């Protein structure tokens, strides 16, 4: 680790100077606090990014498998999106009036995710906050249910975990919680259908807000049949089912909802839809839309706690139309998922050939390795299998050899611009790291 830290300092003198200067006026010395999580003494300062690569201010080149933690999954600065964004920016950015692109995007989202009615926000966090409000309003119930070790953005009600005795508590690091989390939230393990039934049977859960597979504590895949039963239980107990596809869009153009034929009441998604321009969306079934029309007041919709001044702006919609129409297309996903398989095979060959007690998991074009022998079946197992020290070393080792992974666990994403050579380069360097570690 010391050797790798020294290498980092040598390669990043310019970033080091900028990071030092930023300490004066930026909280934690960074523009946004997640940026403290990178390996090395400070973040790398970017000079420019294109496709699956970026260059830093010291002239180093990187293959980017982090891709802005999914915000850049369309690849950096894809030409079709950049052209559309530039063109729209020159014709007006935000008016609180619709543009023609909105109808196209709504239709395309309905095609992909199978629910017909859509609304737009600026972040996936907001999409989740708004559907929680709708769900409470429509059901007249207070509580929501989430998976243990979920992450759905900075949404108050979701920042809960189970403690060792199975009680709902505020998640470690939950800053300034408004009320004790057990008042708003039930927490269940993914793949625990009995636990889910017990949580819903009390009749006070407005909605389950679930990722179809956990992605924020490493990837935890659902058991076969899990989602069919989740749907049945939600319907049986009058609970609405919200599927958050913000990360799991890696499974295909319509996320797991399309790939696994899910039937949610609401879908939420953000991050990658506009090639990095802030935009997100939530969709709903015909029945939910009908219920909203029947039970809520159109006249006061603007002060009802959903929406936002800049949401649905002209620039976001133009970015989404170009990104969905020309960049993250059905065909692009076929290539991206093929590269995900190549990445997974490469990592597995390194693990198997060195007989390491690690494993690799994949969800479409998202691949993750964890330093435990077998895949976790739930959030608790996945959390127990984290090894922050080893994560940090691997991240720094890769970074020093021109490869960027997310700073959170060991996630890699393939974009339409990622190449087989990029993937093979990762396999090679990961193999070198494994050799050094295994002695």
Give the residues lining the site for ligand PLP (CB under 6 A). Answer: 123-125, 128, 151-153, 211, 216, 244, 246-247, 270-271
* 207 Cβ neighbours under 8 A, 6+ residues apart: 131, 132, 135, 136, 139, 144, 145, 239, 240, 241, 242, 265, 266
Q: How would you list the strands of the sheet with 403-404, edge to edge?
A: 46-50, 53-56, 61-64, 403-404
Question: In terms of CB distance, is 117 or 248 closer to ligand PLP?
Answer: 248
CB atoms within 10 A of CB 290: 12
**Shortest distance, position 104 Cβ to ligand PLP, whole Å:** 23
Question: In terms of CB distance, is 117 or 216 closer to ligand PLP?
Answer: 216
Assess contact for 284 and 68: CB atoms under 8 A.
Answer: no
Question: In terms of CB distance, is 99 or 406 closer to ligand PLP?
Answer: 406
**Shortest distance, position 240 Cβ to ligand PLP, whole Å:** 17
The enclosing H or E element of 56 equals: strand 53-56
The residue sitting closest to ligand PLP, measured at its beta carbon, is 153
Residue 95 structure tokens: 């008016």
**Shortest distance, position 158 Cβ to ligand PLP, whole Å:** 9
Alpha-carbon span 251 to 244, nearest angstrom: 13
How would you label 205-214 residue by residue, b for 16+ Cβ within 10 Å and e otherwise? bbbbbbbbbb
**Shortest distance, position 258 Cβ to ligand PLP, whole Å:** 17
Question: In terms of CB distance, is 5 or 171 closer to ligand PLP?
Answer: 171
| First-to-final CA distance of the chain | 14
**Shortest distance, position 159 Cβ to ligand PLP, whole Å:** 12
Question: In terms of CB distance, is 62 or 210 closer to ligand PLP?
Answer: 210
Question: In terms of CB distance, is 151 or 343 closer to ligand PLP?
Answer: 151
**Shortest distance, position 152 Cβ to ligand PLP, whole Å:** 4
- Tokens 């530039």 found at: 86
């Amino acid at each position: 680790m010391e050797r790798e830290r020294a290498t980092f300092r040598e390669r990043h003198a310019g970033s080091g100077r900028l990071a030092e200067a930023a300490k004066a006026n930026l909280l934690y010395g960074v523009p946004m606090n997640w940026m403290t999580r990178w390996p090395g003494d400070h973040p790398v300062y970017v000079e420019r990014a294109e496709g699956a690569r970026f260059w830093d201010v010291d002239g180093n080149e990187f293959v980017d498998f982090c891709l802005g933690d999914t915000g850049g999954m369309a690849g950096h600065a894809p030409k079709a999106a950049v052209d559309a964004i530039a063109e729209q920016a020159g014709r007006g950015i935000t008016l609180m009036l619709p543009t023609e692109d909105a109808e196209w995007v709504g239709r395309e989202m309905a095609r992909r995710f199978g629910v017909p009615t859509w609304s737009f926000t600026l972040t996936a966090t907001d999409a989740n906050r708004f559907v929680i409000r709708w769900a409470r309003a429509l059901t007249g119930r207070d509580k929501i249910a989430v998976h243990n070790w979920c992450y759905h953005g900075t949404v108050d009600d979701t920042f809960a975990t189970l403690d060792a005795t199975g009680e709902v508590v505020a998640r470690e690091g939950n800053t300034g919680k408004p009320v004790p989390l057990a008042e708003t939230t039930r927490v269940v393990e993914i793949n625990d259908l009995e636990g889910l039934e017990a949580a819903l049977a009390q009749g006070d859960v407005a909605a389950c807000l679930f990722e179809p597979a956990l992605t924020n504590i490493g990837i935890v895949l659902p058991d076969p049949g899990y989602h069919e039963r989740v749907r049945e239980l939600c319907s049986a107990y009058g609970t609405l089912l919200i599927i958050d596809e913000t990360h799991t869009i890696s499974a295909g153009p319509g996320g797991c909802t399309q790939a696994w034929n899910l039937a949610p009441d609401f879908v939420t998604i953000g991050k990658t839809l506009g090639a990095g321009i802030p935009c997100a969306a939530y969709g709903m079934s015909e029945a939910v839309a009908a219920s909203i029309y029947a039970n809520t007041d159109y006249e006061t919709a603007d002060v009802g706690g959903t929406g936002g001044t800049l949401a649905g702006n002209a620039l976001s919609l133009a970015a989404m139309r170009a990104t969905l129409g020309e960049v993250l297309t059905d065909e692009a996903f076929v290539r991206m998922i093929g590269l995900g398989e190549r990445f997974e095979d490469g990592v597995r060959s390194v693990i198997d050939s060195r007989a390491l007690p690690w494993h690799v998991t994949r969800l479409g074009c998202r691949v993750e390795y964890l330093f435990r022998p077998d895949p976790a079946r739930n959030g608790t197992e996945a959390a127990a299998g984290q090894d922050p020290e080893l994560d940090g070393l691997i991240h720094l080792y890769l970074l020093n050899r021109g490869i960027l992974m997310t700073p959170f666990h060991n996630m890699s994403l393939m974009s339409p611009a990622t190449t087989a050579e990029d993937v093979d380069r990762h396999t090679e360097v990961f193999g070198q790291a494994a050799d050094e570690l295994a002695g």
